[in-house]
Structures are given as structure tokens and as C-alpha cells.
Amino acid sequence: MNSKELNAQYEKSNNQENKMKSQSKYEVIILVIFIAGVLTGITGYLLYTKIVKRAVSPVVDFIEKEEITTGKTGLFDNPDSLGYYLDSGFVPNAKIAYQVAMNILYPIYGYSRIVKEKQLMDKQVWIITGFKDSLSKGGVVELYLRRKDGKVILVA
């Protein structure tokens, strides 16, 4: 072999090595990006399950009628700290309180029992209650509706 052939063969092998080096560089970069993505996903999942899920765990508290207290109903809690509230409240007047109550009470007790309801106003709670006539047996329908946000506190 002469020197030209050796030079050509050397350059050819050198080019192949350079191609392999650049190809392996890309493979390493892709592998590093993949591993970084997997680690980011695992970290995000762990943070979500340890922090976020614990912070928003659902709480359900059922209260019997006899057990209702201001602490359990949240009636005197500070509702201004959560969300937006209108100055007049979401249930600003007796007419709206009555309409909300009727939408709740009709499916429970039926129209005929509810038609004689009247509304009374406490400072913070609308109390929608029926009246007892001489022919009725049992108690009357009552619904307590918080004026500030429209929350139904009691249906009896």
C-alpha cells in the first residue's frame, strides 16, 4: 500500500469514528433528558401525594337535628375569609329566601304541604317555617338558610 491509500483509509476510519462519537453524544443527551423527565415526574407525583392531597382531603360531617350547635353549622364562622360575598348576601331578601326554600322543600314534602309557608328574619339566618293549623298532625316544616352565602343550615 502506498501513502495515498493509507491516508485515504485513515481519513475514512477517522470519519467513521467522528460519526460514531457524534451519534453517541446524541444518544447520551437523549438518555439524560429522559432520566431528567422521569425524575421530574416522580418528584411531582410525590409532592402532589404528600402535600396537595393531604391539604384538600374531603371532610363530611353529618349532624343530627338535636346536635346542631353554632360550632357545627359554621353559622358564626368568618365566611368573609373564603371566596367572594355580596354586601347584601346571596339571599338578600325574603322573596329570594322563600324561593330558595321552596326549591328545596317541594321535592321533600310536596307542594300541598308547603303552600302556606311564611318567612321570618333573624339577623343572619332566614327561617322559613310553616304554621300549624288545627287539623294537622305533627310539626311544621322548617328551613334555615344563611343570609350571607345561601347555605342551607337545617331542613326539618
- The x, y and z cell numbers of residue 97, run together, are 329566601
β-bridge partners, 126: 121, 145
Structure confidence at residue 37 as a pLDDT band (50, 70, 90): very high
- The distance between the two most distant Cα atoms of the chain, rounded to a whole number of Å, is 127
pTM above 0.75, yes or no: no
Mean pLDDT of 107-135: 64
Mean pLDDT of 42-49: 84
| 68 has a pLDDT exceeding 60 | no
Identity at 119, one-letter amino acid code: Q
Least confident of 5-9, 51-55, 117-121, 147-151: 117-121
Residue-wise burial string across 83-109, b where 16 or more C-beta atoms lie within 10 A, e elsewhere: eeeeeebbbeeeebbbebbeebbeeee
Say if CB 154 and CB 68 are below 8 A apart: yes
Say if CB 119 and CB 127 are below 8 A apart: yes
Say if CB 61 and CB 125 are below 8 A apart: no
- The x, y and z cell numbers of residue 88, run together, are 347584601
pLDDT for the residue numbered 84: 56
Identity at 58, one-letter amino acid code: P
Q: What 3-state DSSP class applies to 79?
A: helix
